[in-house]
């Protein structure tokens, strides 16, 4: 998902209620949830199609925004 796609989704939600908390799922199955704690801007370095590493080097791979859960 890109920032543009996220903004479009958030704009649709905003029409319902702009006062919603941001909660993150622990995994794809929704086994646990945690409130959003921090937002980080950096670089995502994919290692496979489903996981990778983060880097502070904005000159490589995929620039991204990362949402960190509280727990």
15: phi > 0 → left, psi -120 to 50 → alpha, else beta; which?
alpha
Q: What is the pLDDT of residues 31-41, one digit of tens each?
A: 899 998 888 88
Percent of the chain with pLDDT over 70: 83
Residue 58 and residue 42 in contact, taking contact as beta carbons nearer than 8 Å: yes
CB neighbour list of residue 9: distance below 8 Å, 6 or more residues apart? none
Query: Cα–Cα distance between 8 and 29 in angstroms, integer?
Result: 24
CB neighbour list of residue 8: distance below 8 Å, 6 or more residues apart? none
Round the average pLDDT of the chain to a whole number and report it. 81
């Amino acid at each position: 998902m890109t920032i543009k796609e996220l903004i479009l989704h958030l704009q649709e939600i905003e029409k319902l209620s702009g006062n919603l908390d941001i909660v993150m799922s622990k995994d794809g199955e929704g086994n646990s949830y945690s409130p959003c704690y921090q937002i980080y801007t950096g670089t995502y370095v994919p290692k496979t199609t489903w996981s990778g590493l983060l880097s502070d080097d904005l000159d490589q791979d995929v620039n991204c925004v990362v949402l960190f859960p509280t727990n």
